[in-house]
Structure 1
Amino acid sequence: MKRQLTHDDLRAAVYGGAVLGGGGGGFVERGLRTAELALQVGTPELWTADEFAADDLTATVALVGAPAAPDPQVLPTHLLRALELLRRELPRDLVAVHTNENGAETTVNGWFHSAMTGLPVIDLACNGRAHPSSVMGAMGLHHEDDYRSSQGYAGGKPHTYVEGAVSGGLEATSNVVRRASVEAGGWVGVARNPVEVGYAVRNGAPGAIGFAIELGRRFLAGGVLGAAQHLGGEIAVTGTVRTYRCAQREGLDVGVAVLDDAAGTTLHFVNEYMALDVDGERRASFPDLITTFDEDGQPLASADVAVGTRLSVLVAPAENLLLSTTMYMPEVYAPVEELLGVRFAPQAKALSRV
């Protein structure tokens, strides 16, 4: 199905994305501004994957960086510049773009691109929830020995602005872009990893944008409990933050939040929440969804948590989410576990596509 994205979709997409962000995926106000601008300057379109030929070429549009970085800036012009730099590298042109993940800002990745270029957004994400590393959102391309990654990037304030295009191995090019985000002040917009639509459907999360929009509608109508019910999850714990630590490491926010409850509830995060420990036992771990809400019931990114903040913690099992095959590839977790110093990788298992 082909349809124009509307203002009714806008808030639902951003708030549903914020829940699925699991502490990462950007910030609500910036997501609302970007989506609103897209609707002001053009008519972004969302197409289901079955509107394309299997060999049509699509690319991921994303934001890369540390949400708590002190001086970031990615403007809509930077997003278009990154896409332009990528398209220059390709032997044939793109027919569409898709987002890397669901988050408050990332669910609406591609809306501005679509409004300005006419390329439709595919109702598909590399992963149906937010994740910290580019490889987690690369749909298993690190297993494709002959795949050559191409990435365009741009971002930063005038005194830190960087842009460029890089091609090569997936891990090497991702590291270059991650480093560029640090030099830019914390964030860059990226267009990367062109693949055929058929590959994206098999290895990504088709239907992820529609899923976020429906979740957002449930949240806007029923609050945190409405979102939890829709996800088959629950509010696992409520408490006030007693200890909070966050440091930027390798372009990511790495830290911990400890609540003042008797259970000593502890949230470990690398941008997104990776693990939730209650009474010294693991209650949930990524790719399970762990999302925090403030005392007004609004989704709260890990970067916005502070000592004294009153939190409710929603937990939903991974099997109730739309996830990429990469979420069950233990090797993609190793760098994140090393940064955090906590083991949480799931056991490898195959995902079926029905």
Structure 2
Amino acid sequence: MKRQLTPEDIRAAVYGGAILGGGGGGFVERGLRTAELALQVGAPELWTADEFGHDELTATVALVGAPAAPDPLVLPTHLLRALELLRRDLPRPLAAIHTNENGAETTINGWFHSAMTGLPVIDLACNGRAHPSSQMGAMGLHREDDYRTHQGYAGGKPHTYVEGAVSGHLTNTSNVVRRASVESGGWVGVARNPVEIGYAVRNGAPGAISFAIELGHRFLADGPAGAAEHLGGGTAVSGTVREYRCEQREGLDVGVVVLDDAAGTTLRFVNEYMTLDLDGERRASFPDLITTFDEAGQPLASADVTVGARISVLVAPAANLQLSPTMYMPELYTQLEEMLGVEFAPAEKVLAGA
């Protein structure tokens, strides 16, 4: 099915994405601005994967960086430049593009590209919730020994602007792009990892954009309680933030939130919330969805949490999300566990990835 994206889709996509961001995935206001601009300059289209041949080529469009970085800037022109740098290195033309994840800014990844280039956006994400590492958004390509990726990137203010194109092994090129995000001031727009659409369907999360839009409509109608019901989850805890720490490490926000409640509630995050502990016991761990809301009931990114703020924490089980197989590849959790100093890849994840 083909559909032209409309003004009614914007708020639903951004707010649904913000909830699925689980603390990461960008910021609501910036997502709204970019999506509105896309509809002002063109007519972006969302196509289901069955509109394409399985051997046609698609590529991921993404944002890479640390949301709490002090001086980030990615403009729509940077997004187009990243795509241009990727396309010049490809052996054959792209038929479409797709986003890496769901988030306030990332659900609408590709809308501006589509409006300006005519390339349709596939109703598919590399993963149906936000995640911190490029490999988690690479649909298992790190396990493909013969795969050679191409990545284009651009971003930064005039005095920190960087752009480039890099080809090679997925891990090495992703490290280059992550470092570029640091040098740019915190964020870069990226176009990367061209694959055949059949591969993306098997290894990604088809239907992820529609899923976010439906969730957003429910949230806009019924608030956090409606979103929780839609996701088969609930509010795990509410409280006032007693402690908040966040530092940029390897181009990522790494930190902890502690609530001033009897349970000693602790949330740990690497961009996205990774763990929620109540009374010293694990209540949820990534890829379960852990999302914070402010006192007004608006989705709150981990980078925007402040000491003294009253927040509520929504939890929804991973089984109720549109997730890709990468979320159950245990090797992708090692770096994150090292950053946080805690283990949170439970046995069932290892078994599912085996």
| Alignment TM class, shorter chain as reference | over 0.9
Spell out the pairing of 1:8-19 with structure 2 (5 A cutoff): 8-19=8-19
- CA distance, structure 2, for counterparts of residue 136 and residue 349 of structure 1: 17
Q: CA deviation at 1:349?
A: 4.1
Alignment correspondent of 1:337: 337
Q: CA deviation at 1:348?
A: 2.3
Q: Scaled by the length of structure 1, what TM-score is found?
A: 0.98
- Report the 3-state secondary structure (helix = DSSP H, G, I; strand = E; otherwise coil) of the residue aligned with 2:322: coil
Alignment correspondent of 1:218: 218
- CA distance, structure 1, for counterparts of residue 221 and residue 40 of structure 2: 26
- CA distance, structure 1, for counterparts of residue 345 and residue 53 of structure 2: 35
Show CA shifts across 1:283-342 (max 9, x none).
000000000000000000000001001010000000000001000000011111111111
Alignment correspondent of 1:348: 350
- CA distance, structure 2, for counterparts of residue 53 and residue 308 of structure 1: 53
- Report the 3-state secondary structure (helix = DSSP H, G, I; strand = E; otherwise coil) of the residue aligned with 2:157: coil
Alignment correspondent of 2:49: 49
Is 2:305 the counterpart of 1:308? Answer: no
Spell out the pairing of 1:43-192 with structure 2 (5 A cutoff): 43-192=43-192
Show CA shifts across 1:49-75 (max 9, x none).
000000010000000000000000000
Show CA shifts across 1:212-250 (max 9, x none).
000000000000000000000000000000000000000
* Count of aligned positions: 351
- CA distance, structure 2, for counterparts of residue 97 and residue 349 of structure 1: 32
- State the AA in 1 paired with 2:203: N
Q: CA deviation at 1:274?
A: 0.1
- State the AA in 1 paired with 2:350: A
Give the share of equivalent positions with the same residue, in percent.
84
Alignment correspondent of 2:273: 273
- Report the 3-state secondary structure (helix = DSSP H, G, I; strand = E; otherwise coil) of the residue aligned with 1:240: strand
- Report the 3-state secondary structure (helix = DSSP H, G, I; strand = E; otherwise coil) of the residue aligned with 2:93: coil
- CA distance, structure 2, for counterparts of residue 81 and residue 299 of structure 1: 30
- State the AA in 1 paired with 2:63: L
- CA distance, structure 1, for counterparts of residue 201 and residue 126 of structure 2: 9
Alignment correspondent of 1:288: 288
- State the AA in 2 paired with 1:348: V
- State the AA in 1 paired with 2:106: T
- Report the 3-state secondary structure (helix = DSSP H, G, I; strand = E; otherwise coil) of the residue aligned with 1:263: coil
- Report the 3-state secondary structure (helix = DSSP H, G, I; strand = E; otherwise coil) of the residue aligned with 1:86: helix
- CA distance, structure 2, for counterparts of residue 254 and residue 88 of structure 1: 35
Q: CA deviation at 1:98?
A: 0.1
- CA distance, structure 1, for counterparts of residue 80 and residue 180 of structure 2: 17
Show CA shifts across 1:9-41 (max 9, x none).
000000000000000000000000000000000
Aligned-pair RMSD on alpha carbons? 0.7
- State the AA in 2 paired with 1:218: R
Alignment correspondent of 1:232: 232
- Report the 3-state secondary structure (helix = DSSP H, G, I; strand = E; otherwise coil) of the residue aligned with 2:69: coil
Spell out the pairing of 1:189-200 with structure 2 (5 A cutoff): 189-200=189-200
- CA distance, structure 2, for counterparts of residue 295 and residue 323 of structure 1: 29
- State the AA in 1 paired with 2:295: E
Alignment correspondent of 1:204: 204
Structure 2: stretches of 5+ with no match in the other structure: none
- Report the 3-state secondary structure (helix = DSSP H, G, I; strand = E; otherwise coil) of the residue aligned with 1:326: helix
Alignment correspondent of 2:263: 263
Alignment correspondent of 1:324: 324
- CA distance, structure 2, for counterparts of residue 31 and residue 173 of structure 1: 27
Show CA shifts across 1:52-101 (max 9, x none).
00001000000000000000000000000000000011000101000000
- CA distance, structure 2, for counterparts of residue 118 and residue 338 of structure 1: 42
- CA distance, structure 2, for counterparts of residue 114 and residue 291 of structure 1: 29
Q: CA deviation at 1:345?
A: 1.4
- CA distance, structure 2, for counterparts of residue 340 and residue 154 of structure 1: 29
- CA distance, structure 2, for counterparts of residue 342 and residue 133 of structure 1: 17
Show CA shifts across 1:151-189 (max 9, x none).
000000000000000000000000000000000000000
